[in-house]
A and B are shown apart, each in its own frame.
Chain A
Amino acid sequence: MQILDRRLNPSGKSLPNRQRFLRRAKSLVQEAVRDASAKRDIRSADEGGEVSIPLHGIREPSFHLGSGGIRDHVLPGNKEYREGDEIPRPPGGGGGGGSEGAPDGGGEDAFRFVLSREEFLSLFLDDLELPDMAKRRLVDGADPAWHRAGYSVSGSPANLSLPRTMRNSLSRRIALKRPKPEEVEALEAEIAALEGKPEHAERVLALRAELERQLLRTRRIPYIDPIDVRYRRFEPVPKPVAQAVMFCLMDVSGSMTEDMKDLAKRFYTLLYIFLQRRYKHVEIVFIRHTHEASEVDEETFFHSRETGGTLVSTALEEMRKVVADRYPPNEWNIYAAQASDGDNAAGDSQKTARLLVDTILPACQYYAYIEVGREGEHGIPGFPRGPTDLWRTYEALVNAGAPLAMKKVRHRREIFPVFRELFAKRGVTEGASA
């Protein structure tokens, strides 16, 4: 009889099976992940968690008998029945008098399980990447980091690489046949042994000459030569800026409904998750505006109502101030997403465009404009709604080559496709992010 302790065996034995399962159920899980993420608030949207997928997509079929025909049941716990009694069939066609369990628990129609954070995110952001523009900025960092880069023949003594130096020395000594200390010792020993014996005088003489020659060679070929010496080499590599700030700009004037704000929130959530995947540290700044703008917290941003006109330039001005105050562009990757229903006061367009082009866009990695609209607005036949003021303003900028992404969103199911379109790999981003 043996007792073994298996607890120390490596855990995660079922990981390959789990990966296979997730691959198998990928489309179902992805859908569930997107549904689940829509229900959470921005900052907790990327935690792993329970998702539920329909069971029929991952069923393992087998031959079963269907309903109908004659079934026999032997049941325990008879109370009042006698042979020949007739019992009305229980509603729902259940088998016997009790709750006849479906075979192998096939009664459930949803399958719930827990995804880890990593699994959740990789399914969520399956094939997206930051636009090329952002990558260029990534290597623009201020202070470089030093990375090992091979060996050099010059350097400071602190960087001397002993192994490499000794290796060179050894190969040189072998190549030039420098006598080994053992060989010299052997010669000396032999001479000592033979000395004083006249019959070997001649031999001793020869040995002495040989010893002389070897010693001379040893002196000529140094143990370590300057050409052997190697130093570890370091090269400066620009350190990517590992922190990002995300500006959420939103019009909160009366014309923005709760639905529109909800759409905007979903977009911000996605962007936040996405940035978190790429940067160690992500901060969010919420700026809301009517005819004046202010920085607020998330709760106020999404839920409090304001009245007033609409001046987009105030929000941009506020953002400029915040950037100048707290987020110098050489230390921070700046992302901005603006959501609006497209209204802007007539005289403000010029100012908005100028602010954007001159100060905001140069500081940003990425600037996205999401125009939210009411569901069905575009669906009225015969009354196509013309582009809004803000859309026209921005469109002009994009046509002039400004790095600005813009999209219209009418329904929450469009959010994810739009987001994917903006960040799809290989610059499929339409016209916007040049």
Chain B
Amino acid sequence: MPTNRFSRRDVLKGSTALTVGAVFAEPLRAAVPEASAITPALIEAAKKEGKLAFYTAMDLQFAQQLGKKFEAEFPGIAVRVERSGAERVFTRIGQEYSANIHAVDVVNTADQAHCIVWKRNGWLAPYLPEDVARHFDKRYYDPDGLHVTTRILVSPLGYNTNLVKKEDAPKSFKDLLDPKWAGKMVKGHPAYSGTIMNATFQIARDLGWDYLEKLAKQRVMQVQSATDTPKKISLGERAVMVDGAGYLVIRYKEQGQPVEIVYPEEGTPLATGPSAVFKAAPNPNAARLFQNWMHSRGAQQFLVDWARQYSPHAQTVEKPSVRPLKDIKLMMEDPEGVHAQAEAIKKRYAEIFKV
């Protein structure tokens, strides 16, 4: 029997280890690693490597912009972006690592539960960028410095303003069960997208699985990525999105496309997107430089300005047109819960939505 891949057993073993680990966690925890600055020596070493592979679940256009900006600031280091849905990024890294392929340098996902697995597997390198230690709230980075929250995502509702009048637009998840929305909604899939995985977990927890069962009867169009649902309402393919990347709705609206965001009354699902450097990264210095730079004030402000995402960096400034995070009623994120239930969620979801 092969040992070079995960089995469900490994996951189970891992969960057990995790529970045991949690009991003894406090006394055994290593000291927080010292915060690292971008030093000339690091830049020099990174330039020698000349490249890095950035696996991410963020919207492709932005991921490429981020890569280009880094390349402009540190000429001679090429960033190769490897984008797919967070759950597929997670699958990809798992599949590659179990075949002993260490190709990923830095990862940015949209599902904190992934970091639980990677951390447990011992795949992550401790690295705490200077700005993170100084300007990030403690809940936004791992106490051992293994991963840092890069961006904060909300998964609101959205609609196409050509197809739906403002006064008719749904205001809550409950509104979506109205027969008038049957066949008019689009939804992401938790087996592909980390944002949707978290959103599904939170909706099922707060509103109950029977809500999703009722929703499935509304003939919802199913797409994969959380970054696709805003595109589908912008095209006018469906009138309303049930979940997806709120930042894209904001961005498309600012570009003049006919979309509008709705923060549902029951609360808006939340997913924070962590980044990490891999211990076996083929370009360890370039990886650290990128991780450090990505959480610097400049890059984080770029994240806010260009990608319209929420930043955990205390010094970033949000435009007044966007509702600040603190004014949105948020559902509670629970990475441990997602970690424990991910497989069950995927299975149950597939039973309900038939895909």
Same complex: no
